Amino acid sequence: MEQGKYSVGLDIGTTKIVAIIGKENEYGKIEILGTGKSKSLGVHRGVVNNITQTISSIQQAVEQAEVNSGLKIGSVVVGIAGQHIRSLQHSDYITRPNSEEVINDDDLEKLCNQVYKLVMLPGEEIIHVLPQEYKVDGQCEIKEPKGMYGGRLEANFHVVVGQVSSIKNIGRCIKSAGLDLGNITLEPLASAEAVLSQEEKEAGVALIDIGGGTTDLAIFKDGIIRHTSVIPFGGNVITEDIKEGCSIIEKQAELLKIKFGSAWPGENKDNEIVSIPGLRGREPKEITLKNLSKIIHARVVEIVEQVYVEIKNYGHEDQKKKLIAGIVLTGGGSQLKHLKQLVEYITGMDTRIGYPNEHLAGDSEEEIASPLYATAVGLLMNALETRTNNVLEDEMEQEEEEVLVGQESVAGQSARTKTVPRKSIFDKWSEKLKDFLDNAE
């Protein structure tokens, strides 16, 4: 199968690196062709801090996926997260020279491009510019202004900003691992793509992706992304606390958390005890499950409360901004026992665990449909979408050439050019980044 038929998502996490190869089947669902997973070394709280280790971890995951699927991996779509990510609201407008002409893609592009000229703090760069809603000549709440008449086109934007150095480091790792960088996407957006339904996005929903090093939040309302943030805590700090609190090694702490951990301390009886082998001939340690869940509870409450502060900052208490669909938890950390109940208790919002199985073909492996893989599946979806758009664009270009050669009627030509999907600002940005990385070699 040539590379054109399938795409690859690469999730560079703090605890694991996952590469997923997939293609779209005839029903528009995603068929997973192969996966690879490796322990992530060199990534701390979502940010690369050891290039050499990260490169070898990426290569390991990619090789495993290649062996698994029998396919060669060329270009990948990568997620970016980390505590350096911040988002801001911004509104901008353009005045159109001729209000007798209808608004078209070029106007929307011009408006978006203007936002990219925003002056950022030194060392920061805009990653995403996401239009919220438009205004045409003062008329509010327009979702799609294309085809309307108007002189002044205005929009509110959700702008996601990240550190240039972190973005370059990821690009560097991908390049050195012998891969091409297809696209960079914000991880909470990718996870949301994989686990949320359109109805939830319309009704208003907060997606909380609890990873190893970071907890990502994405809030949707009326089908549009309204708020994103990355909180620099995740499952690893819980493990760290168990390690310190029980004086055991990290491997044992992680196992305890997964096997016996619970976010609700009232659950366990006082006499439930786990015995842990001592190190090199020392006495085994006895730990009560009650203490274990007290340690976990304290840290989880802290994470959930921080997320809840962000949800309040978005304005959840305001009637118009209410999140009717509540909260969706995903990521490896969402598998902690009784976490759903704890989140409901703290926030008072309906909660469910999000599995990335909605868009997967029916015969996909059980493992992939686990919340652990939400981000990776989302990145793969993004890769497939980008690929489809590129294929369409190439076809359109070919058709236009044929039209010019055959001098077909003008009407036919204009009808055809209408279906060209416009290159998102983001594609242009990744092209710029690619050029930059090439020159940096």
Would you list the domain boundaries of the chain?
3-83+165-230+312-383, 235-299
The residue-averaged pLDDT of 241-259 equals 92
Do residues 85 and 188 touch, judged by C-beta distance below 8 A? Answer: no
What pLDDT band is residue 399 in, cutting at 50, 70 and 90? confident
380 and 387 Cβ atoms separated by less than 8 Å = no
Report residue 318's pLDDT band, with 50, 70 and 90 as the boundaries. confident
The CATH number of domain 3-83+165-230+312-383, selected from 3.40.50.300, 1.10.10.10, 3.30.420.40, 1.10.420.10: 3.30.420.40
Third-level CATH fold of 235-299: Nucleotidyltransferase; domain 5 (3.30.420)
Condensed to tens digits (0 to 9), the pLDDT of residues 117-143 reads: 888 889 999 988 999 899 999 898 898
pLDDT recorded at residue 437: 63
What is the total residue count of the chain? 441
Distance CA 196, CA 92 (A): 29
Percent of the chain at pLDDT > 70 equals 89
In 10 A of CB 110, how many CB atoms?
12
Let me know if the fold of 3-83+165-230+312-383 is the same as that of 235-299. yes
pLDDT at 276 over 80: yes
Tens digits of residue pLDDT in 159-173: 999 999 999 999 999
Confidence check: pLDDT of 238 > 80:
yes
Give me the phi and psi of 24, to 5 degrees please: -90, 135
Sign of the Cα pseudo-torsion (398, 402, 403, 405, in order)? positive
